[in-house]
């Protein structure tokens, strides 16, 4: 068996050890458990997930500490993640009732028409490392309520949080086989996705992996595939009298969670006449950000990125932008040797001949200066991604123009690109998703609608297009006589 080891990004200490699981065995367990779980009344399934929410609440401090240790994010941020896990249950119950209802449809007087929803069966859930509890939980809870059984593979970078999530659900009364954890690396994930006995896969992660899954499932329209991927998200700063607030929103959008959010702002598009003041203020605030371990005092704004390999890649990306014409405003640095802490990097890429359209999943902000609002919108849409976009400043008419022309699933005004509500749908277009938004709309991909026409007795007649019975008998006799 392959051994998995998880280390704390902030310290390098080993946090968790375990072995990779067997995808086929986990799917078989889920398949065996599915009929009885799906047959339970929905209120029984809701009771289980409510007990789960209560148990998470009881262990909130322990859970938040584990998230911070395994991801490196500040403890205050981990507490908000745990709170999101708890709130997801009530939100999902409401969404299930609203999005997948059982209701009567209009019909003739002699029959009934009904709409009901059925679970798909066995669903695989692949979780990311940046929100290792909240994001997979956003798939798991709606899928369980709908009556599916689950095989959950956490990110190989955050297996301890995945195991904690599994243990709490098991102790909340989920029957054996209904919720299965599958630890392992990329090969284990590939084996799970390729298993012919899953009925669908719910994924949050990179566009590269999402595209590979989309190709793999292209010949299987019978399997549900929900992809929530990354972004190359723009934040436009336009006419505003409050430069400081604009800069704060930019810094929060770009550098919360060390920039490791799919909705983080990667590109600041700024009006030429505001450029000097906005960039100066963004840099001034970024210079003041505390970057430290998750439990440090004073509390840090951001911790490390997930590991040294990611930190090395981001550093190389910043250098590549410089070598291709980018002008550094604030250099990215590694303040602690051999640990994946990064200071925010800010770079003007206006003069670059070709700007890379990739997701830089970390604290790098690219700046592009433009002269008019139409150019700003065109630059915002200059990406294959389409997850989140924001306008800071401008008029109501300009926001309406921005909203109308933006190709993104989230379009905000005078708010961050990050921090979407679980009470709204969450998803994007292009390389950011496949039109199956998660959060409040997760219920849509966890069950499918079944429409029924019903009557107590079979009564039917054909009123047109039939031969007269007598003429039909005469024709039959004539045909017999001629033989």
pLDDT of residue 460: 86
- CA atoms within 13 A of residue 80's CA, in its CB half-sphere: 11
Please write the tens of the pLDDT for every residue from 406-439. 999 999 999 999 998 889 999 999 999 999 999 9
- Cα 220 from Cα 136, distance rounded (Å): 23
Q: Is residue 13 flagged as an active site residue?
A: no
* Sequence-separated (6 or more) residues with CB below 8 Å from residue 420: 263, 388, 410, 426, 439
pLDDT by residue (tens digit) across 270-285?
A: 999 999 999 999 999 9
**175 three-state secondary structure:** coil
pLDDT band at 459 (very low <50, low <70, confident <90, very high): confident
Determine the 3-state secondary structure of 158 from DSSP: coil
What is the widest separation between alpha-carbon atoms in the chain? 106
Whether residue 354 has pLDDT greater than 80: yes
All structural domains of the chain: 3-229+433-452 (3.40.605.10), 233-420 (3.40.309.10)
Give the model confidence (pLDDT) of 35-63 as tens digits: 999 999 999 999 999 999 999 999 999 99
Q: Which of 109-113, 400-404, 412-416 has the lowest mean pLDDT?
A: 109-113
Angle, helix 60-71 to helix 159-171, in steps of 10 degrees: 160
User: In angstroms, rounded to a whole number, what is the distance separating the alpha carbons of residues 358 and 337?
Assistant: 27
Q: Is the dihedral of CA 416, 419, 422, 428 positive or negative?
A: positive
| pLDDT over 90 (residue 106) | no
pLDDT at 279: 98
Using an 8 Å Cβ cutoff, are 317 and 360 in contact? yes
pLDDT value for 112: 85
Instruction: Give me the catalytic one of 228, 281, 359, 379.
Output: 228
Structure confidence at residue 456 (pLDDT)? 84
Q: How far apart are CA 110 and CA 315, in angstroms?
A: 71
- 262 is known as an active-site residue: yes
- Which of 156, 369, 334, 352 has its CA nearest to residue 258? 334
Looking at 83-92, 122-131, 455-464, which range is the least confident one?
455-464
pLDDT at 248 over 70: yes
The region of weakest confidence among 110-114, 227-231, 398-402, 443-447 is 110-114
Q: Across residues 388-394, what is the average pLDDT?
A: 98
134 vs 287: CA distance, rounded Å: 30
pLDDT at 117: 95
Share of the chain above pLDDT 90, in %: 89
pLDDT above 80 (res 124): yes
**Which of 262, 359, 379, 446 is labelled catalytic?**
262
* pLDDT the model gives residue 314: 98
pLDDT confidence band for 395 (50 / 70 / 90): very high
| pLDDT bucket at 473, cuts 50 / 70 / 90 | low
């Amino acid at each position: 068996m392959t051994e998995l080891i998880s280390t704390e990004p902030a310290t390098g200490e080993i946090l968790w050890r375990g072995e990779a699981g067997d995808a086929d065995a986990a799917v078989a367990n889920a398949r065996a458990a599915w009929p009885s779980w799906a047959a339970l009344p929905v209120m029984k399934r809701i009771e289980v997930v409510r007990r789960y929410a209560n148990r998470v609440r009881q262990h909130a401090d322990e859970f938040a500490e584990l998230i911070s240790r395994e991801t490196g994010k500040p403890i205050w941020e981990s507490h908000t993640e745990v709170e999101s896990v708890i709130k997801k249950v009530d939100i999902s119950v409401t969404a299930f009732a609203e999005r997948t209802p059982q209701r009567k449809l209009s019909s003739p007087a002699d029959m009934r028409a009904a709409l009901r929803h059925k679970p798909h069966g066995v669903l695989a859930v692949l979780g990311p490392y940046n929100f290792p509890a909240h994001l997979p939980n956003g798939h798991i809870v709606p899928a369980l309520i709908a009556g599916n059984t689950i095989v959950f593979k956490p990110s190989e970078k955050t297996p301890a949080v995945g195991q904690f999530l599994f243990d709490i659900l098991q102790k909340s009364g989920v029957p054996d086989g209904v919720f299965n954890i599958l630890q392992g690396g990329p090969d284990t994930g590939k084996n799970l996705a390729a298993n012919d006995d899953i009925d669908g896969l719910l994924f949050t992660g990179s566009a590269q992996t999402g595209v590979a899954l989309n190709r793999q499932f292209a010949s299987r329209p019978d399997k549900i595939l929900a992809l929530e991927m990354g972004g190359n998200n723009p934040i436009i700063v336009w006419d505003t009298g409050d430069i400081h607030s604009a800069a704060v929103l930019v810094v929060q959008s770009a550098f919360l969670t060390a920039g490791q959010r799919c909705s983080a702002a990667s590109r600041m598009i700024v009006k030429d006449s505001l450029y000097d003041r906005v960039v100066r203020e963004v840099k001034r605030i970024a210079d003041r950000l505390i970057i430290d371990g998750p439990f440090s005092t004073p509390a840090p704004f951001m911790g490390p990125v997930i590991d040294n390999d990611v930190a090395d890649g981001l550093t190389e990306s910043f250098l590549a932008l410089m070598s291709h014409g980018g002008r550094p405003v604030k250099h990215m640095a590694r303040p602690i040797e051999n640990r994946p802490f990064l200071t925010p990097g800010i770079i003007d890429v206006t003069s670059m001949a070709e700007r890379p359209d990739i997701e830089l999943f970390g604290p790098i902000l690219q700046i592009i200066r433009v002269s008019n609002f139409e150019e700003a919108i065109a630059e915002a849409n200059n990406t294959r991604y389409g997850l989140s976009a924001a306008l800071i400043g401008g008029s109501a008419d300009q926001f309406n123009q921005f909203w109308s022309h933006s190709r993104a699933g989230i379009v905000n005004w005078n708010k961050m690109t990050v921090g979407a509500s679980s009470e709204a749908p969450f998803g994007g277009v292009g390389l950011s998703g496949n039109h199956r938004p998660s959060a409040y709309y997760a219920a849509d991909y966890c069950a499918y609608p079944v429409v029924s026409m019903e009557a107590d007795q079979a009564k039917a007649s054909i009123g047109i297009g039939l031969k007269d019975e007598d003429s039909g008998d005469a024709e039959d006799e004539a045909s017999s006589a001629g033989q």
